[in-house]
Amino acid sequence: MDDRRFVASIYSNLLKCYGQRGWWPAETNFEVFVGAILTQQTSWGNVEKAINNLKNTGALSMDSIADATPARISRLIKPSGYYRQKAARLVGACRRIKHDYGSLEGLFALSTKDLREALLSLNGIGKETADSILLYGAGRPVFVVDAYTTRIMCRLSNRFKGMNYDLLQEYFMLNTRKSARLYNDFHAQLVELGKRHCRAKPVCPGCPLAHMCEYARGRAQ
């Protein structure tokens, strides 16, 4: 099976099993931006509490976070973990975006390549967070790779072992049509699969991709 068919069948099997996910629960682009930083190495449930605290105190805006002290933001986002670090990064990022681009819309006016570089230059925003903001906030066709993606692909075939973020992203983007709509749901599907099925065991009962695993396909490959 060639790579394009392989990737397509991963998605179609997940879609068939879980249905359209329609991802990133957020009301505004800025909420996506904040959520993407807060959810680093943190469960979404905890992030929701933090975002609600920001909302309830009227702090969920570029201006109020840029003008706030890191100490105040850290109290509000406490449930999301790493709260001192994340607060400092949130405040720092908002101040720089305001200073350099005026607003989030100003930043989002950049081309995809420039926007990615601008996001990556902010302290606290690495590849996955930058790509999540590009895809779910700015609607750009960028494939997001996360720990689930890596784990799932390595489970499916040994040839993905040792692939870093860039290689895995390149693999997906070379073997799919470059569609924000597709990448949005594809990433959501992979996370859904990752959450439901075990992390370390080679066999996951009920896994919708079990029949695609290398060991299950046999020598024929």
Partner DNA sequence: ACCCAGGTGGCCC
Partner DNA sequence: GGGCCACATGGG
Nearest to DNA of 108, 148 (CB atom): 148
Q: Between 35 and 208, whose beta carbon lies closer to DNA?
A: 35
Q: Coil, strand, or helix at residue 72?
A: helix
Return the amino acid letter for 107.
L
Residue reference for tokens 């943190």: 42
Smallest Cα–Cα separation from 104: which of 53, 63, 56?
A: 63
Q: Cβ of residue 217: shortest distance to DNA, in angstroms?
A: 26
Q: Where are the alpha helices (DSSP H) in 19-146?
A: 29-38, 44-56, 62-67, 70-76, 83-101, 104-108, 112-120, 127-132
Residue 163 beta carbon to DNA: minimum distance, rounded to whole angstroms: 9
Q: Which token pair is 131?
A: 């790509």
Identify the three-state secondary structure at position 158: helix
Nearest to DNA of 59, 73 (CB atom): 73
Count helices and strands (H / E) in the chain. Answer: 13, 0
Task: Provide the binding-site residues for DNA, judged by CB under 7 A.
Answer: 23-25, 35-36, 39-46, 49, 78-79, 81-86, 122-130, 132, 136, 146-148, 164, 191, 194-195, 199-200
Least gap, CB of 94 to DNA (angstroms): 15
Number of Cβ within 10 Å of residue 44's Cβ equals 14
CA atoms of 2 and 43, how far apart (whole Å):
35
CB of 47 to DNA, least distance (A): 8
* Residue number, 45 or 202, with CB nearest to DNA: 45
Residue 79 near residue 50 (C-beta atoms within 8 A) = yes
Residue placing its CB nearer to DNA in the complex, 98 or 187? 187
Nearer to DNA, 29 or 40 (CB): 40
| Shortest Å, Cβ 176 to DNA | 19
Q: CA-to-CA distance for 39 and 26, rounded, in angstroms?
A: 13
Instruction: Tell me how far, at minimum, the Cβ of 53 lies from DNA, in Å.
Output: 10
